[in-house]
Chain A
Amino acid sequence: MEEWEEEGPEIVKKFLYVNRRAPYGTIYALECLEVALITAAFDQEESLIFMDDGVFQLKKNQDSSDIGMKNFSKTYRALDDYDVERIYVEKESLEARGLTADDLIIPVEVLSSEELREIIDKQDVVISS
């Protein structure tokens, strides 16, 4: 306990991961999810945004068995197990792609660009993929 106190106050920063890439075609979606899961172990205030083609990462009913790649879409469900609860999807990006929140594999908060701008404004570390 004493040793703990000597370390001083824990730093808690706001980490934001911005996902703008579709899955499978490139590795960015998978490797960003890996960082997001690791970050959860650090007790930071973590948020994820899915916008532009990044919304396709969350499309439900993915089945990659015939392209020989791992279907990692179910791993997004693990975010909830790690208490990563700030998961935002841009409304305009979803609509532009003919999708709704019902098409997504996990429950998310759908926000307008305007509302997302306020989320982005609060961050300390922004990691794009």
Chain B
Amino acid sequence: MSHILHLVNKSPTERNGFDTCLRMAKPGDSVLMIEDGVYAALANADFAKTIIGSMNDLSFYALGPDITARGLNDVPLIEDVHVVDYEGFVDLVTETDVTQSWL
């Protein structure tokens, strides 16, 4: 089994990439929210329960500079979504086996 890093760059309320990613990811995989994908980290948004429901199986990360750029630093984010910087992004890519983008 390979450890896949799933990259999601779309808001879950704009496109279905996040839903499809969560349908296809297998337990043990990691998901990194980048660009508009970071909107999926909002704790008070409807989509939060979908993310929280997947937390037993998947590890979630979000790209910090994209969170800050969008003014999301002053709203609650889902606990256990780990915020990383670009170097953390690189580490996630190299520490997993394959990277799959859900464009």
Contacts and interface: CB of A to CB of B under 8 A. Distances in A.
Nearest to B102: A128
Interface in B46-103: 98-103
Contacts, number: 36
A128 B23 contact: no
B20 A120 contact: no
Interface string A91-117: 010000000000000000000010011
Contact of A128 (B4, B26, B101): B101
Interface residues of A, number: 17
B98 A113 contact: no
A6 B25 CA distance: 40
A126 to B, nearest CB: 4
Contact of B98 (A51, A116, A123): A123
Nearest to A49: B24
B20 A52 contact: yes
B60 to A, nearest CB: 18
Given A52-B16, A122-B2, A124-B98, A113 B24 contact: yes
Tell which of B1, B24, B101 has the most Cβ of chain A within 10 Å.
B24
Nearest to B1: A121
A20 B2 contact: no
A53 B9 CA distance: 18
Contact of A18 (B25, B26, B100): B100
A121 B27 CA distance: 11
Interface string B11-51: 00000110010011110000000000000000000000000
Contacts of A39: none
A122 B98 CA distance: 10
A29 to B, nearest CB: 13
Contacts of B101: 126, 128
13 contacts: A20-B17, A20-B102, A116-B24, A117-B24, A120-B4, A121-B26, A123-B2, A126-B98, A126-B100, A128-B101, A128-B102, A128-B103, A129-B103
